[in-house]
Amino acid sequence: QKEVEQNSGPLSVPEGAIASLNCTYSDRVSQSFFWYRQYSGKSPELIMSIYSNGDKEDGRFTAQLNKASQYVSLLIRDSQPSDSATYLCASYTGGGNKLTFGTGTQLKVEL
Amino acid sequence: SQTIHQWPATLVQPVGSPLSLECTVEGTSNPNLYWYRQAAGRGLQLLFYSVGIGQISSEVPQNLSASRPQDRQFILSSKKLLLSDSGFYLCAWSVGGVMNGYTFGSGTRLTVV
């Protein structure tokens, strides 16, 4: 049973638009959540972490967490072609030493 | 600064041959270390993790093994590779608990032929 679910995409958005990536999780005790960006052929790179309900902003990126509804989202404002990548959502439930990853959403930003 | 080294970057091995992939971390002590595999077009599969020297937790029973002979060294091995072992192998580390996330190495792309 998967604990972190993501739509595989691809999600296509025009340059300059807002890209919205979503993730749901099944374990209510999940404590921390992370967004990784993975370019084709490269390793994942941590871009955002969020621990509390609400929004967290970092530059063009905003992570949103709603623990009651068990979802996490990542908004990318003013999307650029360089944002085209696969975005992985991950959760940490506590009591263990590992993250649980979703399978990722492919984002394509078109000119 | 903290860095993670993983090598080789690419590897082509025949079926039945042995495998040894090494990962080392610099600039930190007592990290948690992880081995993941990502098959083509698939998600990340946790293979092994280690919270200290000689301590290995196996997540998926298969043709692979892991060892941690030193605090900042993590090795992934196989005695006989299978075609299904092909994939992108990633080492990751965390310090101070997983609640802060992982940092991944650059990965090894293994093709078994």
Instruction: Determine the Cα–Cα distance for residues B104 and A86; give it in Å rounded to an integer.
Output: 15
pLDDT at A96: 75
DSSP assignment of B82-104 equals -GGG-EEEEEEEESS-GGG--EE
For residue A99, pLDDT over 80 is answered with: yes
Q: Is the pLDDT of residue B69 over 90?
A: yes
- In total, the C-beta contacts within 8 angstroms joining chain A to chain B are 50
- Exposed, middle or buried, A99 (CB in 10 Å: 0-12/13-18/19+)? buried
Going by pLDDT thresholds of 50, 70 and 90, the confidence category of residue A1 is low
pLDDT at A93 exceeding the cut of 70 = yes
Q: According to the model, what pLDDT value does residue B61 have?
A: 65
Contacts of B51 in chain A (CB under 8 A): 97
Q: Which amino acid does the sequence have at A92?
A: Y
Neighbours of B46 (CB within 10 A): 18
Q: Do B102 and A46 touch (CB under 8 A)?
A: yes
- Chain A partners within 8 Å of B109 (Cβ): 41
Contact A43 B100 (CB under 8 A): no
- List of chain A residues whose C-beta atoms are within 8 Å of the C-beta of residue B52: none
Contact flag B99-A44 (C-beta cutoff 8 Å): no
Q: Mean pLDDT check: name the lowest of A82-91, B52-61, B67-76.
A: B52-61
Contact B44, B94 (CB under 8 A): no
Percent of chain A whose predicted confidence (pLDDT) is above 90: 84
